[in-house]
């Protein structure tokens, strides 16, 4: 089982927490290899990650982002590190035919064996759908189509290499002057459209699944059945990977976090050198606060109409 994280120095605490949760809940996996794609991670922080991995007698390979991303230009990535584009470059890491990618802002609460054993067949990625359709029109995709979050992925590296999909990634990046909407997520949704396996949401349980009811998810996603109700309920009851996406809740390393699964992150954080680190004082965006309060009094259909109308008027 190959598993990869990617980050810069800022996200090392979160990455270490996620790695610790992964290793503690996958002790039974005989062959588990970890990869860290680094963008300037300090030697001191690398040593901290190594200490955690060595404690479980696992193998860790350090890969430098600049070494695998040659030929690509990354002009802007907003609040994200350039390492979000790591998913493009797995074919440049020797000996990998298949790999699981995990964002740093995750905790793993169970075995990843079922995830690893998913048969992608002729698909390039296995991903969980997201309700966020803000970028669809800018990417030339129908709003009613599925749109996938790429923060947790199983990647068919050998097929991507065989079909030269990296060249397609680069071509699309150039079309957007190296600043694509939704960054790597947007590119993957365009380049791999029709060749993405829809994963069970338990493998990437996004914040929206806690924020919205099943009906609200369907309306917000503009899909008749975003995920079947029984599937979402099963994932809520027993998620394998919890993904602390920003937006609807503050995150566990921020002041006044209200995420329902915050306690899992906190429990693993206590076992690291960052146990007493100061929480980040960051406010939710004003538009999110307005949306969350409006949702308490307005039906989701009306609220979605208002939001869509506002976005249309603002663009005009």
Instruction: Quick: pLDDT tens for 115-153.
Output: 999 999 999 999 999 987 777 878 888 877 889 999 999
pLDDT of residue 311: 63
State the DSSP code for 228: -
Tokens of 312: 């249309």
Confidence (pLDDT) at 314: 58
- For the chain, residues with pLDDT lower than 50 are 316
For residue 191, what are the domain limits?
Answer: 2-201
**Would residue 312 count as lying in a domain?**
no
| Model pLDDT, residue 52 | 97
Q: What is the per-residue pLDDT for 316? A: 45
State in Å, rounded, how far the first CA of the chain is from the last one: 49
278: in domain: no
With respect to residue 74, please indicate whether it lies within any of the assigned structural domains: yes
Residue 270 inside a domain? The answer is: no
Residue 207 domain flag: no
Longest Cα separation, the chain: 58
Two structure tokens written together for 242: 């919890």
Q: How many domains does the chain contain in total?
A: 1
Is residue 301 included in any domain, yes or no? no
Check residue 159 and report its DSSP letter. H
- Percent of the chain whose pLDDT exceeds 70: 95
Q: Which of 45, 29, 17, 180 is nearest to 103 (CA)?
A: 17
Burial class (CB in 10 A: 0-12, 13-18, 19+), 47: exposed
232 is a domain residue: no
Nearest Cα residue to 64 out of 103, 36, 101, 100:
36
pLDDT score at 172: 95
- Name the DSSP class of 237: H
CATH number at residue 66: 3.90.550.10
What DSSP element (H or E) covers 273? none
- Classify residue 236 as exposed, middle or buried by CB count within 10 Å of its CB (0-12, 13-18, 19+): middle
Assigned domain for 269 exists: no
**pLDDT tens digits along 248-274:** 788 999 999 989 999 999 999 999 999
């Amino acid at each position: 089982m190959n598993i990869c994280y990617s980050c810069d120095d800022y996200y090392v605490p979160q990455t270490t927490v996620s790695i610790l949760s992964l290793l503690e809940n996958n002790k039974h996996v005989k062959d588990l290899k970890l990869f860290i794609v680094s963008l300037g991670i300090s030697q001191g922080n690398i040593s901290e990650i190594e200490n955690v991995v060595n404690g479980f007698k696992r193998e860790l390979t350090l890969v430098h982002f600049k070494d695998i991303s040659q030929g690509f230009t990354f002009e802007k990535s907003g609040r994200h590190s350039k390492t979000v584009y790591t998913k493009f470059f797995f074919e440049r890491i020797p000996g990998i035919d298949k790999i699981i990618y995990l964002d740093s802002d995750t905790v793993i609460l169970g075995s990843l064996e079922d995830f690893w054993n998913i048969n992608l067949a002729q698909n390039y990625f296995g991903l969980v759908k997201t309700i966020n359709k803000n970028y669809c029109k800018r990417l030339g995709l129908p709003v009613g189509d599925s749109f996938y979050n790429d923060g947790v992925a199983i990647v068919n590296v050998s097929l991507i290499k065989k079909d030269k999909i990296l060249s397609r990634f680069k071509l699309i990046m150039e079309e957007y002057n190296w600043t694509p909407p939704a960054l790597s997520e947007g590119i993957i949704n365009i380049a791999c459209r029709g060749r993405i396996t829809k994963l069970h949401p338990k493998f990437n349980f996004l914040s929206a699944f806690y924020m919205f009811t099943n009906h609200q998810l369907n309306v917000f996603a503009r899909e008749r059945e975003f995920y079947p109700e029984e599937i979402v309920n099963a994932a809520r009851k027993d998620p394998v990977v919890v993904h602390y996406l920003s937006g609807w809740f503050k995150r566990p390393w921020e002041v006044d976090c209200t995420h329902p699964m915050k306690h899992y992150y906190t429990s693993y954080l206590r076992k690291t050198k960052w146990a007493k680190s100061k929480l980040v004082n960051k406010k939710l965006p004003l538009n999110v606060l307005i949306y969350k309060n409006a949702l308490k009094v307005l039906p989701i259909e009306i609220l979605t109409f208002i939001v869509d109308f506002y976005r249309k008027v603002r663009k005009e």
